[in-house]
């Protein structure tokens, strides 16, 4: 589809969302420049679970979560940690987050997220074909496993939301689970399998494929940090970086967890915070375990991912902002539990990593135009779904810049909705 007018577009942020957006815009004839001080694809995009979850329609805040928060915080290997020195700054975000978990609100949020997830894999396929990267996307699905029926019963609310959204899933008994993942502990007797999800065994490879395609088509990457903007006639006329000022015609803010400060300077104080995510990379070993797809271990609630360079163990969130040093104690404490879940798993840690998930209180990304400045667009706040939603986000931003009606109604994702 041709665009009404080819534009010069500056995309701030070269994570997976920025890369997907830049490549989509470029494919429609726009001239695109990416600006990021970090090497493209090496920040938050690098360390995720590698899953493109088409059925990811359950918001982070759900009814009754507030009752479970104290126990989560007391559990040394639990899924939530807050550094108390950060709590005063987090409090306004946290209040909005818990409010988003009210039953009617959570159901509405789920339905809105489903408008994105339902198209997310198709959008990636479009870019992957362009980037000659279809082999990177493995159609192996998304699996969650539980030890007994009472534990599985805790998924009833999630399954209800998936049913409303039309998400296809299968409930596996012990025999079916063994056939799908024979390497898992036989303690697991029931599974919840979403067959339509895909997996990227090295997320950085997908980022690099999109980057190569972008560069091969004449895209430019500027390795500088955006610190502010210049304005002229009611719109940003330039981006100010740590090296100078670059003129802009059309501006897209896709800087992940670093977007809050930039959006505020543009007059949009979006309540964005960062869910710090950790992973450990564990060696496959000489006679390593068999695991075919990313698998959520119900109960302790962590994910085991069969990456190209080892088993990736990811778990939980930590609220401590962008500047605090990482603390790997909690995720290291999960290694024995991971070895129980996947017999034969090595305890040798070959990499420790922490990244910053850009998260909004209502679990929805910010996608859409600025109402204060023409030719300014936002694409951030994807939380746990950055990889999944990156390509569809790029498509929606391209719709807006190309003068088309977006493929998804964008009012639920507006920067000023809060």
CA–CA dist 11, 375 (Å, integer): 12
Report how far Cα 36 is from the mean position of its chain's Cα atoms.
Answer: 18
| Phi and psi torsions of 387, nearest 5° | -65, -45
What is residue 390's predicted lDDT score, i.e. its pLDDT? Answer: 98
Nearest to 352 by CA among 293, 282, 301: 282
Three-class SS state of 293: coil
pTM: 0.96
What is residue 1's predicted lDDT score, i.e. its pLDDT? Answer: 42
Three-class SS state of 413: helix
Sign of CA dihedral 110, 145, 174, 199: positive
pLDDT tens sequence for the chain (418 residues) = 444 689 999 999 999 999 999 999 999 999 999 999 999 999 999 999 999 999 999 999 999 988 888 888 888 778 899 999 999 999 999 999 999 999 999 999 999 999 999 999 999 999 999 999 999 999 999 999 999 999 999 999 999 999 999 999 999 999 999 999 999 999 999 999 999 999 999 999 999 999 999 999 999 999 999 999 999 988 899 999 999 999 999 999 999 999 999 999 999 999 999 999 999 999 987 788 999 999 999 988 999 999 999 999 999 899 999 999 999 999 999 999 999 999 999 999 999 999 999 999 999 999 999 999 999 999 999 999 999 999 999 999 999 999 999 999 999 999 999 9
Where residue 203 falls (left for φ over 0; alpha for ψ -120 to 50; beta otherwise) is alpha
CA–CA dist 55, 336 (Å, integer): 30
What is residue 3's predicted lDDT score, i.e. its pLDDT? Answer: 47
What is residue 26's predicted lDDT score, i.e. its pLDDT? Answer: 98
What is residue 127's predicted lDDT score, i.e. its pLDDT? Answer: 98
Three-class SS state of 383: helix
DSSP 59-86: -SS-TTHHHHHHHHHH-TTSSEEE-GGG
What is residue 74's predicted lDDT score, i.e. its pLDDT? Answer: 84
Half-sphere exposure of 285 (CA within 13 A, CB side): 15
Domains delineated in the chain = 1-63+101-136+197-270+362-418 (3.50.50.60)
What is residue 98's predicted lDDT score, i.e. its pLDDT? Answer: 95
């Amino acid at each position: 589809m041709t665009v009404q007018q080819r534009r010069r577009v500056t995309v701030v942020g070269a994570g997976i969302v920025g890369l997907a957006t830049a490549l989509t815009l470029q494919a429609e004839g726009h001239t695109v420049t990416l600006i990021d001080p970090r090497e493209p694809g090496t920040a938050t995009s690098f360390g995720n679970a590698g899953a493109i979850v088409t059925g990811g329609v359950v918001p982070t805040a759900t009814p009754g979560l507030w009752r479970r928060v104290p126990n989560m915080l007391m559990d040394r290997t639990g899924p939530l940690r807050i550094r108390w020195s950060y709590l005063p700054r987090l409090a306004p975000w946290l209040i909005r987050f818990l409010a988003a978990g009210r039953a009617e609100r959570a159901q509405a949020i789920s339905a809105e997220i489903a408008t994105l997830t339902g198209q997310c894999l198709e959008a990636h396929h479009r870019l992957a074909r362009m980037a000659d990267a279809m082999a990177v996307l493995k159609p192996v699905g998304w699996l969650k496993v539980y030890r007994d029926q009472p534990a599985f019963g805790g998924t009833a609310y999630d399954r209800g939301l998936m049913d409303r959204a039309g998400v296809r899933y299968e409930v596996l008994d012990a025999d079916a689970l063994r056939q799908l993942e024979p390497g898992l502990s036989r303690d697991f007797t029931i599974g919840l399998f979403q067959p339509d999800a895909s997996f990227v065994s090295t997320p950085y490879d997908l980022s690099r494929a999109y980057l190569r395609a972008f560069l091969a088509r004449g895209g430019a990457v500027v390795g500088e940090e955006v610190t502010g903007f210049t304005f002229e006639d009611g719109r940003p006329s330039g981006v100010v970086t740590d090296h100078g000022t670059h003129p802009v015609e059309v501006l897209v803010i896709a800087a992940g967890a670093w977007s809050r400060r930039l959006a505020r300077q543009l007059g949009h104080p979006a309540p964005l915070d960062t869910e710090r995510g950790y992973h450990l990379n564990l060696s496959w070993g000489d006679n390593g375990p068999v695991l075919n797809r990313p698998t959520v271990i119900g109960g302790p609630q962590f994910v085991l991912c069969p990456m190209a360079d080892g088993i990736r163990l990811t778990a939980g969130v930590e609220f401590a902002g962008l500047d605090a040093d990482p603390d790997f104690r909690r995720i290291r404490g999960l290694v024995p539990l991971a070895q129980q879940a996947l017999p034969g798993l090595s305890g040798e840690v070959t990499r420790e990593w922490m990244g910053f998930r850009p998260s909004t209180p209502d679990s929805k990304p910010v996608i859409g135009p600025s109402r204060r400045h023409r030719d300014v667009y936002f694409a951030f706040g994807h939380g746990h779904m950055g990889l999944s939603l990156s390509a569809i986000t790029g498509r929606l931003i391209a719709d807006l810049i190309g003068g088309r009606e977006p493929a998804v109604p964008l009012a639920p994702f507006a920067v000023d909705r809060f």
